[in-house]
Amino acid sequence: MSLYLDVMTSADLTASSRLAGMLSSLWSKGSWRATMSAMSALLVAAVGTTLLGVIGVVWGAAIFSLVTGAGDWAHVAVYVAAVIVGPVAELWAVQGVTALQRSRLRTVAGTDIPAGSHTSERKPWPVGPWLSASTWRHIAFHLLSIGIGAAAGAVAVCWLAPALAIAYLIVGAPSAATTAVSCTGGVVLLLTAPWLARQVVRVDETLAKALLGPSHNEELALRLESLTKSRAAIVAATDAERRRIERDLHDGAQQRLVSLAMNLGIARARFSEVPEPVKQEIAEAHDEALMALSEVREFIRGLHPAVLNDRGLDAALSGLAARAPLPVRLKVDMSRPAAPSVEAVAYFIVSEAITNVVKHARATQAEVTVARDGDLLRITVADNGAGGAALGGTGDPDGGTGLRGLVQRAASVDGTLTIDSPPGGPTVITAELPCES
Amino acid sequence: MRIVIAEDSVLLRDGLTRLLSDGEFEVVAAVPDAEQLLKAVAEHQPDLAVIDVRMPPGFSDEGIKAALVIRRQYPDVALVVLSQYVEGSYATDLLSEATNSVGYLLKDRVAHVNDFLDAARRVAAGGTALDPEVVAQLLIRRKDDPMSRLTPREQQVLRLMAEGRSNGGIVELLKVSPSAVEKYVTNIFAKLALPPTSTDHRRVLAVLKYLGA
């Protein structure tokens, strides 16, 4: 029972609050903004489609006249000129009206429609844009804007309905029935106006987004472009950060460690007459400091070798090859240097590939080749080891991870990395990194 | 032995000064950049200059450039260049001027105090002291790979020779007999087609010339 009452009450409330909502929406900001937006849509649609229509009609008439017999040469010249100029003028008008619609949507409705498609706009005038899908999508919008304009006109009629009804009551000689109809009609239409205005705006924006905005492909292309840019920025920033850390470590901790180890070394060399345990302690401390120093040096090299910055890839790789615990033949042909971030990726690919060779390949020698091939930097690391290296790393998860790391390094600058490693060897890792010349 | 030190890090400059201020060594000037180094060498005419490669204002290869100037103007001054990393062109630049009284060491090596002092003495006495990494890199740069003709043991001996070690030093380091070392050296000369000579010094020069060719 009480449940039933509750339901009744809430139903009553809903009905009355709905009515209140409809009434208050008559003077709500949103309704007026929607109405203004619909009116502007009407205005722009009227002006725009008239312009497009007139050009279209003139063009069509010129063709018609040429086909049906044009008369004297002066007329023929005018018609031919119109036929030639027509599409260009129409194109100009389409783009102009499109820009006008975008600007209307931005200023009146607050909807920003990105222009998108740079590629289609780059197609050569006057034929190119006619072949682009986006031009036809724009034309479709302009045709549909006639309907939107008509609906916007209906919104205006709804707002004016009470005034029209009153005018009819005063001027006409209504019977009781027509009085009732016009009064009811005026009120109902007035109450409908805010809703209709909002619907018009909604449809207008939806169509504009679908037809004036970038298409799905264009959106993807834009997104790809922005992602490519931001990734390049991240790679460069990471690179710069590594360089900064390298520099800080070199200027700070490493110098201090060298100095510490040197002081301990001096003590070790000079205090020969101190008791044996003290000598022992000093010697151990010196050895520890030397170990720490060599660890820090290796760490810094792994971060970003300074030689790469100062002397380029060739010099950095020869250092790498010289330090490798197996003989590494090195052939570097860098006619033009690549971008610093690409050289850094190349260096680390070689470095990690050699580490992999040492760890897993059971090889006795390796060969590294780096060469510019047009806009590509091609890197190969070959060894004479046991082969069987794979990205999946089923047998040896660690080896797999190392190779996957190499692929990721290459991908970070849009490069590719392939591994050819039949069981029994030899293994050849080839990386191709794009670099603008 | 009178020494000039050029090193921009205060910490290392002080450390080097302390290290080289004992017994036969005497530091007559310790300066922070290449310009002051050239002034100090002109003023003191030292026996040895210990030079950091990377110094102000450019922090690139100011030390190498200064070393080359010193070599041309004061050929009697022995040079030990300290570098953060091995750069083949630095080494060949230095060695192309003259292959005597030159050292090229990684900076960290100064912490191996005795080795560093040995190297300083060797260079001041007219010999060479190349970092093992320098030798390794110079060998990699060879186009026809002379190393492939040598056995691993002979390669090891060649490296030590190129670093400036005497036969006696090699005997001590490799824990082999003097006659064995002599045999390795003869083999190396034969395989690399180098004429055998009597003194250690000329032997090293020949090796270096071969490496730097």
> B13 and chain A: CB distance < 8 Å anywhere?
no
Tell me the pLDDT band of A291, cut-offs 50, 70 and 90. Answer: very high
Q: B73: distance to nearest CA of chain A, Å?
A: 27
Tell me: pLDDT of A4 over 50: no
Chain B residues touching A268 at Cβ < 8 A: 113
- Better pLDDT: A71 or A430: A430
pLDDT at A395: 47
> B167 and chain A: CB distance < 8 Å anywhere?
no
B85·A269 Cβ contact <8 A = no
Tell me: pLDDT of A434 over 70: yes
A381 vs A357: CA distance, rounded Å: 9
Element containing residue B180 per DSSP (H, E): helix B178-191
Chain A residues touching B86 at Cβ < 8 A: 307, 319, 322
A311 vs B54: CA distance, rounded Å: 13
> B56 and chain A: CB distance < 8 Å anywhere?
no
Chain B residues touching A311 at Cβ < 8 A: 87, 89
pLDDT at A373: 86
Structure confidence by residue, pLDDT tens digits, A269-285: 888 888 999 999 999 99
A255·B87 Cβ contact <8 A = no
Lowest mean pLDDT among A12-26, A219-233, B35-49, B116-130: A12-26
For chain A, give the mean pLDDT: 84
Q: Percent of chain A having pLDDT more than 70?
A: 92
Domain locations in chain B as residue ranges: 2-131, 142-212
Mutate to test the interface with A, among B137, B141, B144 (most CBs of A within 10 A): B137
B140·A270 Cβ contact <8 A = no
DSSP at B110: G
Averaged pLDDT for residues A301-329: 86
Q: For domain B2-131, give the CATH number.
A: 3.40.50.2300
Searching chain B, which residue's CA lies closest to the CA of residue A367?
Answer: B140
Chain B residues touching A310 at Cβ < 8 A: 60-61, 87
A259·B15 Cβ contact <8 A = yes
Say which of B19, B89, B140 has its CB closest to residue A322.
B140
pLDDT at B211: 63
Tell me the pLDDT band of A298, cut-offs 50, 70 and 90. Answer: confident
> B140 and chain A: CB distance < 8 Å anywhere?
yes
Tell me: pLDDT of A437 over 70: no
A258·B111 Cβ contact <8 A = yes
B108·A270 Cβ contact <8 A = no
Chain A residues touching B136 at Cβ < 8 A: 322-323
Searching chain B, which residue's CA lies closest to the CA of residue A312?
Answer: B87
Q: Which CATH architecture has domain B142-212?
A: Orthogonal Bundle (1.10)
Predicted TM-score (pTM) of the model is 0.63
Lowest mean pLDDT among A35-44, A88-97, A110-119: A110-119
Searching chain A, which residue's CA lies closest to the CA of residue B113?
Answer: A265
A293·B18 Cβ contact <8 A = no
Tell me: pLDDT of A200 over 80: yes
- Better pLDDT: B47 or A14: B47
pLDDT at A5: 46
Low-confidence ranges of chain B (pLDDT < 70): 139-148, 192-213
pLDDT at A348: 92
Lowest mean pLDDT among A262-266, A347-351, B169-173: B169-173
ipTM, interface predicted TM-score of the complex: 0.76
Structure confidence by residue, pLDDT tens digits, A113-153: 777 655 544 566 667 777 777 888 888 888 998 999 999 99
